[in-house]
Structure 1
Amino acid sequence: MICKKCGREYEDDMPQCLWCDAPNESLSSQDECETSSADSEAQEEAYKESLKELVDPELERAFDDNVRRGKSAISWTKFQMVLNVIFFFVEVKTFGAIAAFYGSYKVNAPIPREVNLAVWTLIVFFMASAIPFCVFIGKNLLWIYHAHKEQNKFSETQFSPWGATICYYLPIANYFIFKTLIDNQYDTMKSMGIKAQAVPNKLLTWFLLFNIATPIFNYICLRNFNTPVLFISTVLWFILTILYIKLIRVATANEQAVHDQLENNRINKKVEEIIAQRDVNQQNTEQT
């Protein structure tokens, strides 16, 4: 080690120069780094301990409300699945007649009764399913918005609540929305001392694969409408929706676990306050 003050050489592990007593700057900086690292670890441990005893009634209610939103979103998603199965059979019956008519259409040719019936069947079905479809979309978006909003109170995520809401139905993007949310929930639960189980990677992987395959077959179906392609597209959407439900259930279960922990903390704190107040009253009684 060369001393910067006097220019003489001394051992690297010595705390100061032998000739002019100048401090060894390399050791000083190393000590500062170790101290800083120790402080950050201590702060992290203190934060984890505070989470284990966290009492926040407002946050507790927020998690409880979003658990209800998640269950409602699952129910409406299941209902939408039923509507889509019905729509598949409606498409098979109606689109075939319409396509056959327009494939051999002649100018001023009368429109057959079957074609009129098919068109009106589609119109009635779309009108009847429009409101349930909007509710299904709204319920899911409302849940994912609040899921990220509440989770952001514990840890920062790649998606803001509005970002997650906007990208929720975008292929591939929604894979990262779920992965980020569930991973952060897992870390939060571990910090709070809750027994957490990580989501299986297979579930997320299958979700990603069907996220890619479903839009592709939907596009093929639009370009070349036929029953086999329509059937495959419907099956892919059906499986993708089931995977959606499974992921929502995982995230909702995590929210329920955090809510239960917050509720237990609140009850325990209340019990401790009651016991402390009782002890104070007993002491006052004994003194009098």
Structure 2
Amino acid sequence: MQDNYKRGARTVFWTKITLSLSVVFIVLFMFLYRMFQTIEANPDLDAGFLTSGSMLLLFIFAGVCLLLGVSYSIQGLFWLLWMFRAEENLRKITHTTFSPWGAVLCCFLPYLGTLLHFFVFRDIIRHTESELSKRRTGDPSTYAPAVPMNLVIAFFVCGILGSVISFIGENRIVFLVSFVIGFAGAVCYLKALGMYIKEEAELYGIYKDCELRNKVDEVLREREIEKAASEIREIKD
């Protein structure tokens, strides 16, 4: 197994940045939409005001779009790297439903990505918590809290519902409702992911401790064998 906590933490961080920029994007988009509606309905408005005000907002909006694209790309990269290693690590100690590459590729399928990632994420949570329950020792108060499956289900339901609503129509209200539902799902996913990477880190720590103990035991056995062999040689001599 390899340490995956940093990848997970970076994924959480960039997801927060992306969600924040998404809110700014929606606010500016709705404001610009309303402004251009006002311009269209009132052609007698001062042209100078419209030029300076609209151009400034358009430049800000373009900047936010650029930052959002960069943030989304970085977040997606860390997310894919994290998910691949999460599956790869679990495969070293148990059998998962999805392979590392299978999990990554499933999430790229158009329209089915959210549906399939729900099953991928639920699968790695269940296998991780199952392995933790077998390997944990010591004070339960030090254990990482379990991921509430309700958060994962809420992410799935909001993702599907937001996608369905977006196909109903193309008016502003439908777009806004779809975004709010999708945003709520993303927040649930972010919360579940933040809790899961702590469980993942705990399992990695237990695995490395066990690996270290096995190495120490092996060294001690080798020394005992060498000692026994040396004693036998002395007796023969």
**TM over 0.5, shorter chain:** yes
Which amino acid in the other structure matches residue 181 of structure 2? L
Tell whether 2:94 aligns with 1:155: yes
The structure with the largest helix share of the pair is 2
**Bigger Rg over Cα:** 1
* Displacement of 1:198: 5.6
Name the counterpart of 1:73.
11
Q: Secondary structure at the match of 1:142?
A: helix
Q: Within 5 A, what are the aligned runs for 1:108-127?
A: 112-113=50-51, 114-127=53-66
Structure 1: state its 5+ residue gaps.
1-58
Name the counterpart of 2:172.
225
Name the counterpart of 2:140.
none
Alpha-carbon RMSD: 3.4
* Displacement of 1:279: 5.9
Quote the Cα distance in structure 1 between the aligned partners of 2:30 and 2:175. Answer: 8
Cα deviation code 1:219-241 (max 9, x no counterpart):
45x70014xx5553443233212
Q: Alignment partner for residue 77 of structure 2, among 104, 113, 138?
A: 138
Tell whether 2:38 aligns with 1:93: no
Name the counterpart of 1:84.
22
Quote the Cα distance in structure 1 between the aligned partners of 2:16 and 2:187. Answer: 9
Name the counterpart of 2:119.
176
Tell whether 2:149 aligns with 1:210: no
TM-score by length of 2: 0.74
Name the counterpart of 2:186.
241
Which amino acid in the other structure matches residue 156 of structure 1? H
Summarize the Cα distance change of 1:104–1:176 in structure 2 as closer, same or farther, 3 Å threshold. farther
Identity of aligned residues (%): 21
Does structure 1 retain, via aligned residues, the 8 Å contact 2:152–2:189?
no
Cα deviation code 1:65-110 (max 9, x no counterpart):
x2211111001111112112221221122122234446789xxxx9
Q: Alignment partner for residue 267 of structure 1, among 185, 203, 212?
A: 212
Which amino acid in the other structure matches residue 241 of structure 1? A
Tell whether 2:136 aligns with 1:194: yes
Quote the Cα distance in structure 1 between the aligned partners of 2:127 and 2:40. Answer: 54
Does structure 2 retain, via aligned residues, the 8 Å contact 1:183–1:198?
no
Quote the Cα distance in structure 1 between the aligned partners of 2:153 and 2:182. Answer: 16
Quote the Cα distance in structure 2 between the aligned partners of 1:274 and 1:159. Answer: 36
Does structure 2 retain, via aligned residues, the 8 Å contact 1:72–1:139?
yes
Summarize the Cα distance change of 1:231–1:200 in structure 2 as closer, same or farther, 3 Å threshold. same
Quote the Cα distance in structure 2 between the aligned partners of 1:171 and 1:281. Answer: 58
Summarize the Cα distance change of 1:120–1:223 in structure 2 as closer, same or farther, 3 Å threshold. same
Which amino acid in the other structure matches residue 178 of structure 1? F
Does structure 1 retain, via aligned residues, the 8 Å contact 2:155–2:186?
no
* Displacement of 1:124: 2.5
Larger mean Cα displacement after TM superposition, 250-259 or 139-148: 250-259
Larger mean Cα displacement after TM superposition, 173-182 or 125-134: 125-134
Does structure 2 retain, via aligned residues, the 8 Å contact 1:145–1:165?
yes
Larger mean Cα displacement after TM superposition, 209-218 or 74-83: 209-218
* Displacement of 1:139: 1.2
Report how many aligned residue pairs link the two structures: 219
Cα deviation code 1:143-166 (max 9, x no counterpart):
112212222333333323223223
